[in-house]
């Protein structure tokens, strides 16, 4: 039998430095959990993905409050009862960034049930909270951004809201994303397009989907997809730029004939789509609207457009 080195003794490929764990900053090597952790067995965790960007006034977290609030909402959906307030989550995140002297980073807060019981009911399990900050670049690769990503419609569907809590950014939900992502990568694509049970476009594995047709920007409506904070940002930016924006349900073939398709997420930022199921979208390269929107988004998050300063929390310190 193949043995794997103990996860606690190997050096991690990730460089998280100091991690916030239940109220204290501890070195990454000491931020460990029991193998009997409830969340490890049953997926009972909720998380966030947040980014801090370099600005002229030092690092700033993009839409921090909305992310902290969504973490609490995700926890509420799972019936978790965190004792922390949204302000305390904000502060833990800011302190972790300061302690690691990050100029820019990806931020991963996580709430999960501990090892007190392995019963399905987590009633006796204690809730834990951690924040890790990681140096991180372009999610789908520089090439996917400039050339446009190649998507494939996944053979995995997004669960309905009566099967999984689709509005919660829950660890357990991500088994579905992992399966879809692996299937896409193994077949030579960069990302999966997931449909819902009825065959309507839901989202990517961790991104919301937009398409442009005859000058109107269509945002895939909220159904079984996550309420993306980047999606909300892009809708507002597009309207401010004078684009007509509509929320819509769409089938996969409507995307095939769109002028442009792009995906949004904290990790993916704005990623243009070049093809879906080997059909070129528009001319089959990153579209001009998506690239312009990506530029605009990167200006907003890095504090270059004062009109959107309300979305930035300067780390200071």
Ligand X SMILES: *Cc1c(COP(=O)(O)O)cnc(C)c1O
Report the catalytic residues: 169
196 binds ligand X (CB under 6 A): no
Q: What is the DSSP secondary-structure string of 266-281?
A: TTTEEEEEEEETTEES
For 294, what's the count of Cα atoms within 13 Å in the CB-facing half-sphere? Answer: 23
Among positions 47-66, residues that touch ligand X (CB under 6 A) are 49
Question: Tokens 């988004």 map to which residue?
Answer: 297
User: Where are the extended beta strands (E) located within 48-166?
Assistant: 50-53, 60-62, 105-113, 127-134, 149-153
Q: Is 108 in the site for ligand X (CB under 6 A)?
A: no
Task: Report d(CA 158, CA 180) in Å as an integer.
Answer: 10
C-beta closer to ligand X: residue 213 or 227:
227
CB nearer to ligand X: pick between 153 and 225 = 225
Q: Tell me the closest approach of the beta carbon of residue 58 to ligand X, in angstroms.
A: 23
Q: Which is nearer to ligand X, 45 or 125 (CB)?
A: 45
Contact between 208 and ligand X by CB under 6 A: the answer reads: yes
Return the range that interacts with ligand X (CB under 6 A); candidates 93-101, 262-270, 278-286, 294-302: 262-270
Nearest approach in angstroms of CB 297 to ligand X is: 11
266 is a contact residue toward ligand X (CB under 6 A): yes
Residue with tokens 């305390």: 88
Between CA 153 and CA 130 the distance in angstroms is 34
**Bridge partners, residue 61, by sequence:** 52, 313
In angstroms, the CA 156 to CA 210 distance is 20
Residue 158 Cβ, how far from ligand X at the closest point, in Å?
8
List the structure tokens of 304: 């270059």
CA distances for 228 relative to 57, 168, 206, angstroms: 27, 11, 9
Name the residue nearer to ligand X (CB basis): 51 or 128: 51
Binding track, positions 148-187, relative to ligand X; x by CB under 6 A: ---------------------x------------------
Between 18 and 211, CB nearer to ligand X? 211
Number of shown-chain residues binding ligand X (CB under 6 A) = 15
CB of 265 to ligand X, least distance (A): 4
Name 63's Cβ contacts closer than 8 Å, sequence gap at least 6.
50, 229, 233, 311
Q: How many residues does the chain have?
A: 317
For the chain, how are helix, strand and coil distributed in percent, rounded to 5? 30, 25, 45
Burial of 166 (0-12, 13-18, 19+ CB in 10 A): buried
In the complex, what is the shortest distance from the CB of residue 191 to ligand X, in angstroms, rounded to a whole number?
12
Which part of the chain contacts ligand X (CB under 6 A), choosing from 14-22, 136-144, 264-272, 281-289?
A: 264-272
Q: Could you give the string, one character per residue 216-255, with x where binding to ligand X holds by CB under 6 A and - elsewhere?
A: ---------xx-xxxx------------------------
Task: Output 18 or 224, the one with its CB closest to ligand X.
Answer: 224
Residue 45 in the binding site for ligand X (CB under 6 A): no
Q: How many CA atoms lie within 13 A of 181 on its CB side?
A: 10
- Residues at the contact surface with ligand X, assessed by CB under 6 A: 49, 169, 203, 206-208, 225-226, 228-231, 264-266
């Amino acid at each position: 039998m193949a043995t794997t080195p103990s996860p606690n003794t190997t050096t991690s490929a990730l460089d998280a430095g100091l991690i916030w764990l239940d109220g204290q900053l501890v070195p990454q090597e000491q931020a460990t959990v029991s193998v009997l952790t409830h969340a490890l067995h049953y997926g009972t965790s909720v998380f966030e993905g947040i980014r801090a960007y370099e600005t002229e006034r030092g690092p700033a977290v993009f839409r921090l409050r909305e992310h902290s609030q969504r973490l609490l909402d995700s926890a509420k959906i799972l019936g978790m009862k965190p004792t922390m307030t949204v302000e305390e989550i904000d502060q833990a995140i800011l302190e972790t960034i300061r302690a690691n002297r990050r100029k820019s980073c990806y931020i991963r807060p996580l709430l999960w049930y501990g090892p007190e019981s392995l019963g399905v009911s987590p009633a006796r399990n204690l809730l834990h909270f951690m924040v890790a900050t990681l140096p991180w670049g372009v999610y789908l690769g520089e090439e996917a951004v400039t050339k446009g990503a190649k998507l494939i419609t996944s053979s995995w569907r997004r669960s309905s809201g009566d099967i999984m809590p689709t509005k919660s950014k829950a660890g357990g939900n991500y088994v579905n994303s992992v399966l879809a992502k692996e299937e896409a990568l193994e077949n030579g694509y960069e990302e999966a397009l997931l449909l819902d049970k009825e065959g309507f476009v839901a989202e990517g594995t961790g991104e919301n989907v937009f398409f442009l047709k005859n000058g109107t920007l269509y945002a895939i409506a909220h159904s079984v997809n996550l309420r993306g904070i980047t999606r909300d940002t892009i809708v507002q930016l597009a309207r401010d730029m004078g684009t007509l924006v509509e929320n819509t349900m769409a089938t996969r073939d409507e995307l095939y004939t769109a002028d442009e398709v792009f995906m949004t997420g904290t990790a993916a930022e704005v990623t243009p789509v070049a093809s879906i199921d080997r059909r070129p979208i528009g001319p089959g390269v990153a579209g001009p609207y998506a690239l312009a929107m990506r530029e605009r988004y990167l200006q907003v998050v890095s504090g270059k457009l004062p009109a959107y300063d309300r979305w930035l929390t300067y780390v200071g310190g």
